[in-house]
């Protein structure tokens, strides 16, 4: 009986060591592919590493970003949501989840029409949380939230059927302008941001 117990224990140790080695190998290969920008291969390897160790923050972060770069925004959202549970102070996870949600909201698919409103509002919340954590000096996050407000306002403007529905849309456009102006305060020579402000103002005028 003791011999059987010892044999089983030895097999368990060897198996665990092999599993640990395989897990580390998947992570290593996934990291190498990620660093080369081969995100499709990175996803393949990092998914295996993630299955072996779901709480590995580094694997999860690379997997989420690789999914994002591959255009698999739903998988990116899932991975970033898991990362946020493990690392709630990681502002980049909120930022990229927001970008993934905004990308889905802007997809021209009729099947998304019922969910599009939620994707826009969720994206804005994610950008706002990233700003809350990282500060308003990050012009990239500010710019993306401004774009999210703009895109959401345009989406809502198509549904306006009576005058009472205009003020909330104008408020979204104004939020967009406010974010773009904050970017200009930090980077006053941004012609692209100036053009976006002019575009949004034109959209407001067209509603009146």
Report the pLDDT value the prediction gives residue 58, as an integer from 0 to 100: 93
Instruction: Give a yes or no: residue 171 inside a domain.
Output: yes
Report the pLDDT value the prediction gives residue 83, as an integer from 0 to 100: 96
3-state secondary structure of 135: coil
Instruction: Give a yes or no: residue 170 inside a domain.
Output: yes
The model carries a pTM of 0.85
Walk along the chain (208 residues) and give the pLDDT tens digit of each residue.
444 444 333 333 333 334 444 456 888 898 899 889 999 999 999 999 999 999 999 999 999 999 999 999 999 999 999 999 999 999 999 999 999 999 999 987 766 677 899 999 999 999 999 999 999 899 999 999 999 999 999 999 988 878 778 999 999 999 999 999 999 999 999 999 999 999 999 999 998 6
Report the pLDDT value the prediction gives residue 23, as an integer from 0 to 100: 53
d(CA 119, CA 97) in angstroms, rounded, equals 10
Q: Which residue in 54, 66, 55 sits closest to 29, CA to CA?
A: 66
Burial zone of 93 (CB within 10 Å; 0-12 exposed, 13-18 middle, 19+ buried): buried
Instruction: Give a yes or no: residue 30 inside a domain.
Output: no
Instruction: Give a yes or no: residue 168 inside a domain.
Output: yes
Instruction: Give a yes or no: residue 185 inside a domain.
Output: yes
- For 184, residues 6+ apart whose C-beta sits below 8 A from its C-beta are 190, 193, 194, 197
Report the pLDDT value the prediction gives residue 46, as an integer from 0 to 100: 93
Instruction: Give a yes or no: residue 93 inside a domain.
Output: no
| Domain of residue 185, CATH code | 1.25.40
Domain that holds residue 169: 124-208
Condensed to tens digits (0 to 9), the pLDDT of residues 47-64 reads: 999 999 999 999 999 999
Report the pLDDT value the prediction gives residue 152, as an integer from 0 to 100: 96
Number of domains in the chain: 1
């Amino acid at each position: 009986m003791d011999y059987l117990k010892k044999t089983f224990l030895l097999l368990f140790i060897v198996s665990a060591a092999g599993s640990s080695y395989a897990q580390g190998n998947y992570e290593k290969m996934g990291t190498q592919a990620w660093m080369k920008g081969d995100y499709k291969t990175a996803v393949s390897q990092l998914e295996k590493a993630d299955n072996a160790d779901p709480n590995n923050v580094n694997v999860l972060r690379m997997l989420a970003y690789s999914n994002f770069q591959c255009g698999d925004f739903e998988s990116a959202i899932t991975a970033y949501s898991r990362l946020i549970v493990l690392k709630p102070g990681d502002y980049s996870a909120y930022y990229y989840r927001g970008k993934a949600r905004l990308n889905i909201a802007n997809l021209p698919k009729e099947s998304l029409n019922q969910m599009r409103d939620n994707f826009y509002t969720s994206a804005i919340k994610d950008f706002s949380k990233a700003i809350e954590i990282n500060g308003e000096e990050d012009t990239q996050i500010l710019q993306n939230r401004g774009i999210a407000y703009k895109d959401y306002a345009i989406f809502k403007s198509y549904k306006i059927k009576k005058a009472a529905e205009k003020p909330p849309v104008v408020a979204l456009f104004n939020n967009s302008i406010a974010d773009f102006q904050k970017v200009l305060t930090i980077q006053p020579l941004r012609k692209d941001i100036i053009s976006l402000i002019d575009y949004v103002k034109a959209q407001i005028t067209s509603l009146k």
